[in-house]
Amino acid sequence: MAQQSSAYAPSGRMTGARKRAVQEAITGYLFIAPASILLTVFGLFPLLYAFYISLHRWRIKKGPFLGLKNYTKALGDPQDILWFVVGVVLIFLAWFIWRNMVQEQRAWAMALKFLAVIVLLVGAWAAIMGLGKMIKSGDRQMFESFVITIFYAVGVVPVQLAGALLLAVMLYQNIKGKDWYRMIYFMPYVTITVASAGVFRAIFSRRPESIANRIFGLIGVPPQKWLQEPHGIWELIFGHFGIHLKQVLLGAGLDSFLVFVLLGPSLALISIMLYNLWVFIGYDAVIFLAGLGAIPSDLYEAAEIDGANRWQLFRHVTLPLLSPTIYFLTVITVMGVFKAINHVLVMREPAAQGTVDTASLYIFDQFYLSTRFGYASAIAMVLFAVILTLTFVQNRFAQRRVFYG
């Protein structure tokens, strides 16, 4: 007869320690049950149901099962998608090999580094070739919406974080009325989006007497169309030369999609970027202030005794200890930018010719205006995969650069 477990008494009953462990486990599961139920009902279930919808032709009512046809319609031919995926996998493989061999100086390690470079070049070629073919065979308007989203992210994320950090450092100083300043800078974040976006729509009106045209008129800039301007920023900056350059590029046989990328974001999109900065810099500054408050003052005092000036204090004390805050804000800002829709929907104008239609807004149009629920869900799943990949890359990049103390 097998020996009875030590968790049970000779009579077969559980011991006191075992009983307490079971009670603690049950208590723990009861505590996490409400959050788990909420995440399942309002998070996991809608995600799975959206994927289910994306596999059908769904217009108001459920239609026939299509499999992955909605995805191939959006992304292009399966073989082109495969080329792109293989290229991305090879790029990650090259990065993984290089990261693990970067400290090694032996001959075999140098050979692996050389192999990583070759794999990187092959992966980049496969990814670029596959992406180019996907754009031609897939939904070009969807790809343009992703490019617009990337323009939006590149223009907003660095400026927003840098401006918020500068503002937080200024507000952290011992100045009069700093609590009032903190409240004022945070107010745009809690203002109703539709109302504030409507105000900015009036500010960036094309009328010569609008606030934006008056302000820029003080430095000699002629009245602009702002939210109704579809031309790329480089085309506007270089004037007639920019227009001629666009015609030359198109005349040379360059793909119109590539010309669209090279000409940069439209002035209408930049106007919306300014609204985004106005709203979120104050919120990020409050988060940075919390991070600054968690830095021990003893570290600054010790550095000052060693002769560090203000820049050295900021560079070698403040920034490293703020790295978790910077990482957190970078992740949520990138995710927020890729999901931007409310203020863009309010501020976009038909005259902008779709140059402000981010990926989320394009999904909304497919869902609400075209009632193509299945196709919209497929693009939403693609956007989800993009955000998930970006979050994973940011997490891997930050592993060795974020200092948690």
- CATH code of 180's domain: 1.10.3720.10
Same domain, 82 and 223: no
What is the pLDDT at residue 10?
56
Structural domain span for residue 173: 140-230+266-398
| Candidate from 23-32, 146-155, 286-295, 393-402 with smallest mean pLDDT | 393-402
Decide which of 95, 115, 137 is a domain's last residue: 137
Q: Shortest CA distance to 97 belongs to which of 107, 85, 109, 105? A: 109
pLDDT tens for residues 114-140? Answer: 888 899 999 999 999 999 899 989 999
> Is residue 357 over pLDDT 50?
yes
pTM here is: 0.87
Is residue 246 domain-resident?
Answer: no
Same domain, 210 and 337: yes
Same domain, 132 and 281: no
Q: Shortest CA distance to 186 belongs to which of 168, 213, 207? A: 168
Handedness of CA 339, 341, 343, 348 (dihedral sign): positive
Mean pLDDT of 361-381: 93
Instruction: Please give the C-alpha separations between residue 72 and each of 82, 330, 355, in angstroms, as whole numbers.
Output: 11, 32, 24
| Candidate from 48-52, 83-87, 117-121, 401-405 with smallest mean pLDDT | 401-405
Same domain, 34 and 107: no
> Is residue 20 over pLDDT 60?
yes
Is residue 59 domain-resident?
Answer: no
Decide which of 137, 170, 186 is a domain's last residue: 137
Give the whole-angstrom CA distance, residue 379 versus residue 367: 10
Same domain, 145 and 133: no
Is residue 2 domain-resident?
Answer: no
Share of the chain above pLDDT 70, in %: 91
Decide which of 98, 116, 137 is a domain's last residue: 137
| Candidate from 19-33, 41-55, 78-92, 242-256 with smallest mean pLDDT | 242-256
Same domain, 22 and 83: no
> Is residue 4 over pLDDT 70?
no
Neighbouring-strand partners of residue 163:
none
pLDDT band at 1 (very low <50, low <70, confident <90, very high): very low
Nearest 10 degrees: Cα torsion 109, 115, 116, 121 = 160
Mean pLDDT of 95-105: 75
Mean pLDDT of 330-353: 91
Same domain, 111 and 146: no
Same domain, 95 and 195: no
What is the pLDDT at residue 103?
67
Is residue 11 domain-resident?
Answer: no
Same domain, 226 and 167: yes
Same domain, 35 and 172: no
How many domains does the chain divide into?
3
> Is residue 2 over pLDDT 50?
no
Is residue 189 within 8 A of residue 280, CB to CB? The reply is yes
Same domain, 144 and 128: no
Share of the chain above pLDDT 90, in %: 50
pLDDT tens for residues 284-327? Answer: 999 999 999 888 888 888 988 888 888 888 888 888 899 999 99
Is residue 65 domain-resident?
Answer: no
What is the pLDDT at residue 16?
72
Give the whole-angstrom CA distance, residue 133 versus residue 385: 20
Same domain, 209 and 353: yes
Is residue 372 domain-resident?
Answer: yes
> Is residue 11 over pLDDT 60?
no
Q: Which amino acid is at 233?
A: I
Is residue 389 within 8 A of residue 266, CB to CB? The reply is no
3-state secondary structure 159-179: HHHHHHHHHHHHHHCCCCCHH
As a whole number, the mean pLDDT across the chain is 87
